[in-house]
Amino acid sequence: MDIRERLKHSTSITPFQRRVYMELLNIPAGEVITYGELARRIGCRSAQAVGQALKRNPFAPEVPCHRVVAADGSLGGYFGQRQGAMIERKRKMLADERG
């Protein structure tokens, strides 16, 4: 079953998380968008709510939450972390995707 089908049928995520994760699949490898832009794309007014959904992403990295960055262009968070090993992992995944 492909990832879109797994997301559609998952009982371990909320409908809001499903909308966030489905939209993440539309971000091409090597590209990034902001939390606010992702929120706008799904009709949500809260970048923080999107960030919380990404923090709980059980499908990462297949559902690429690492492609979402802060409005100021910084990496933002990754799995709830703003520094350390997880941010370095996010940085490496983005670099690898960009070639």
Q: Reduce the secondary structure of 18-72 to three states and give it as a string.
A: HHHHHHHCCCCCCCCEEHHHHHHHCCCCCHHHHHHHHHCCCCCCCCCHHHEECCC
Query: What are the tens digits of pLDDT across the range 84-97?
Result: 998 999 999 999 99
For residue 2, pLDDT beyond 90: yes
Alpha-carbon span 64 to 21, nearest angstrom: 8
The CA angle 64-26-3, to the nearest 5 degrees, is: 60
CATH number of domain containing 92: 1.10.10.10
Q: In terms of residue numbers, what domain contains 72?
A: 3-98
Give the count of domains, the chain: 1
pTM, two decimal places:
0.92
Catalytic one among 65, 69, 75, 87?
Answer: 65
State the Cα–Cα distance between residues 12 and 32, nearest whole angstrom. Answer: 26
Q: Is 44 a catalytic residue?
A: no
With cut-offs at 50, 70 and 90, classify the pLDDT of residue 20.
very high
What letter does residue 74 receive in the DSSP assignment?
Answer: S
Mean pLDDT of 23-27: 98
- Per residue in 37-84, pLDDT (tens digit) is 999 999 999 999 999 999 999 999 999 999 999 999 899 888 888 889
